[in-house]
Amino acid sequence: MDNFTFYSPTLYEFGRGAEEKTGMLTFLMGVKKVMIVFGKKYVKANGLLDRIESSLSTIGIEYVEYGGIEANPTDDRVYEAIAIARDKHVDGLLAIGGGSVIDTAKAVAAGVPYEGDFWDFFSGRSIVKKALPVGVVLTIPGAGSEGSGNAVITRRETLQKLSLRTDSILKPRFAIVDPELTFTLSAYQTACGIVDMMSHIMERYFSPTSRVEVSDRLAEGLLLSLITEAPKALADPTDYQSRANIEWAGTLAHNGLVGCGRREDWVSHFMEHEISAVYGVTHGAGLAVVIPAWMAFMAHHKPSKVAQLGRRVFGVEAPDDRTAAIEAVASLRAFFSAVLRMPLTFKALGIAEPDIDLLVSKLHEDKGETIGGYYKLSAKDTRQIYELMLDEPSRPQSAS
């Protein structure tokens, strides 16, 4: 276990009707005029926006609406929102939505008090020293942005999808999580969210750091919860209890808890970000294609932790690590495919002829010559992993 700092000061208000506390919690974060950031139609159509605005008005908080954020949010919307927020003298952000909306709100929160170009925070040219406070009403779980200090924005011009990571300055002050707001998510959206949650756990789980029993066991526990609850939510989208367990697991997957005391990996995210930046696929669906390919490669190059995952989460019994790891990959593929109905190949993702040259070159241009915490990957390795996404089922043997 390595030294670490863990600071997760987000207040979680969880449960049926929790959004009624939006006004009070916004007031407690000291905000007088809030910019409400949201997506396309959902929050207006179902009356949620009205309910939240009335909760703000009751307590005397003014608000400015900024809607229409789409999946894989782009820098142009952030620039526009920053200009409006400055013009209207907004002193806080309220995101109603999922990762795209929350990430946009965070980028705006950091950009408003910054004199330079907000993209500096994403390109690594500057770090966030102050930001407006952000509150969240979560409607699409998965991204985990409600508990993280991170944001991901795509540069429209260059298709660079980059992330901004802060210790805590951009962690939301509060996150309102009402599982009933997720009842209307489609099976596809639900499944994409679950893959994203599992990936946030596994990116931390696949670590070179040894003796992290507590963080390992917590990660495995969250994965087991998701594997247990996912089929229930898919069978009955209004099953409150499975929605609640999935949503809480998704928050804990990404608030830093399961990363405590260890180096993390994040290669699957990096590889998926290139795919979704170029082809505009849904992040969770892209991850369902990337993760098993990454794991199949590891089953042959560094199987130990993949084997542990197989034994503790999927009940694999093989005594040697390589066999256990190969079985773990097969179990994860089966879960993604048969239970979550997720794609496992580029083709199933709707990309008939992926430009692997482009993906590999953009990946290493953005992230460096070698990447990965668990195992260092060169461009030759990442090409091999992208190639494993071509065939279904990609037989793990082909990785050796």
Residues that bind a second copy (CB under 8 A): 1-18, 210-214, 217-218, 220-222, 224-225, 228-229, 241-242, 244-245, 248-249, 252, 257, 260-261
CB 96 within 8 A of CB 75: no
d(CA 212, CA 132): 35
SS3 111: helix
User: Nearer to a second copy by C-beta: 257 or 288?
Assistant: 257
Nearest to 310 by CA among 220, 370, 382, 394: 220
User: Nearer to a second copy by C-beta: 111 or 179?
Assistant: 179
d(CA 50, CA 295): 45
Work out how close the CB of 298 gets to a second copy at its nearest, in angstroms, rounded to a whole number.
23
User: Nearer to a second copy by C-beta: 39 or 310?
Assistant: 310
In the numeric block, the tokens 């969770």 are attached to 284
Burial of 24-58, coded b for 16+ CB within 10 Å and e otherwise, reads ebbbebebeebbbbbbeebbeeeebbeebbebbee
- DSSP assignments along 216-269, one per residue: HHHHHHHHHHHHHHHHHHHH-TT-HHHHHHHHHHHHHTSSSGGGTTS----HHH
Work out how close the CB of 326 gets to a second copy at its nearest, in angstroms, rounded to a whole number.
25
Work out how close the CB of 370 gets to a second copy at its nearest, in angstroms, rounded to a whole number.
27
Work out how close the CB of 167 gets to a second copy at its nearest, in angstroms, rounded to a whole number.
10
User: Nearer to a second copy by C-beta: 154 or 251?
Assistant: 251
Work out how close the CB of 74 gets to a second copy at its nearest, in angstroms, rounded to a whole number.
33
User: Nearer to a second copy by C-beta: 248 or 335?
Assistant: 248
Work out how close the CB of 389 gets to a second copy at its nearest, in angstroms, rounded to a whole number.
31
Residue 207 phi/psi, 5-degree rounding, is -135, 145
Nearest to 355 by CA among 270, 277, 268: 277
d(CA 80, CA 112): 11
CB 267 within 8 A of CB 212: no
Work out how close the CB of 214 gets to a second copy at its nearest, in angstroms, rounded to a whole number.
5
What kind and span of H or E run contains 63?
A: strand 62-66
User: Nearer to a second copy by C-beta: 3 or 186?
Assistant: 3
Work out how close the CB of 76 gets to a second copy at its nearest, in angstroms, rounded to a whole number.
35
